[in-house]
Amino acid sequence: MLTVASLISITAVAVVVIVVSAILAAGAFEASHGLDETSARLYFDLAAIAVNGPLITFGAFGLFSGWCIVARGAFPKWCGWLGILAGVLGVAGSAMLGSEGTFALVSPLVILPTLAFLVYTLALSVMTLRSPNANS
Amino acid sequence: MSDMRKFAGLAGIATVVVLVVSFLLPGEPLMIDDPDADILAFFVDNRGRILLAQWLTFVSVIPAILFSATSSSDYVLPSGRIPCLQWRR
């Protein structure tokens, strides 16, 4: 059951990341078909606003998996706290992006949660690699 | 089981590497208040890189799902319960 839940959550993360990437790619694709400045601005703004999606889904994944790791103890607790920190940064960054009206592909509100999520995923991967029997 | 967990760890690392490459590939990103002409130039000048980055993002889903599917049992307590879904009295 948890495998299904985990797959659904990671699929949600993947879908929203793909949406942002696809909007930018659509703009790039149109660049060879007479893209004008107004349309370029539209593609860029859509991608900037869509960044909210990855932040929220990254955040949810970090919060709940981090919480489970802290409680379960299969991995070091700092790894779980790192996930919770990434989750809080993601959800808070997403909320502040909307309320401040500063949607952007490049902003500390986007970069910090993204970096935290990548470091957290990397840490989880290394822990998984180094502890072959963590669940036993 | 041990081989599967090693595979999961490698898949997670691969996910991060591919995502970082796809984030960096389009070049220096624009700011939201840059003029429209700069945004148009960004799409025209970096067309191939942006399209490749998008393909890499799609590809990153494969190791991400492998990682998720094979490592999720680490979140479960020996009792079979999920810690963050338990209500403590």
Predicted confidence (pLDDT) per residue in A7-51, tens digit = 666 777 777 778 888 888 888 888 888 888 999 988 888 888 887
Q: Please check whether residue A40 touches B, CB under 8 A.
A: yes
Residue with token string 């059951």: A1
The structure's pTM equals 0.78
CA distance A123 to chain B (A): 9
Where does residue A7 rank: exposed (0-12), middle (13-18), buried (19+ CB within 10 A)?
middle
Residue A3's pLDDT band, with cuts at 50, 70 and 90, is low
Q: Which of A24-27's residues contact partners 24+ apart within 8 Å by CB, and which partners? A: A24/B26, A24/B50, A24/B53, A24/B54, A25/B50, A25/B51, A25/B53, A25/B54, A27/B43, A27/B50
CA of B89 vs chain A CAs: smallest distance (Å):
16
- CB contact under 8 Å between B73 and A135, yes or no, is yes
Q: What is the ipTM of this complex?
A: 0.77
Q: Are B85 and A68 spatial neighbours (Cβ–Cβ below 8 Å)?
A: no
Q: Give Dmax over CA atoms of chain A in angstroms.
A: 59
**What confidence tens digit (pLDDT) does each residue in B16-66 have?**
999 899 888 888 877 777 888 988 998 898 889 989 988 998 898 888 888
pLDDT digits (tens, 9 = 90+) for A102-116: 556 667 778 888 899
pLDDT of residue B14: 93
Q: Is there a domain that residue A33 lies in?
A: yes
Q: In which domain, by residue range, is A79 found?
A: 2-130
Examine residue A135 and state whether it is found in any structural domain, yes or no. no
Q: Give the residue numbers spanning the domain of B52.
A: 2-85
What is the Cα B73 distance to its own chain's centre?
20
Domain count, chain A: 1
Q: What are the residue ranges of helices labelled H in B1-89?
A: 2-24, 36-45, 47-71
Helix or strand holding residue A118 (H, E):
helix A108-130
Q: Is residue A27 part of a domain?
A: yes
Q: Is residue A136 part of a domain?
A: no
Query: Closest residue of A to B31, CA-based?
Result: A106
The reply to whether A112 falls in a domain is yes
Domain total in chain B: 1
> Is the pLDDT score of A101 beyond 70?
no
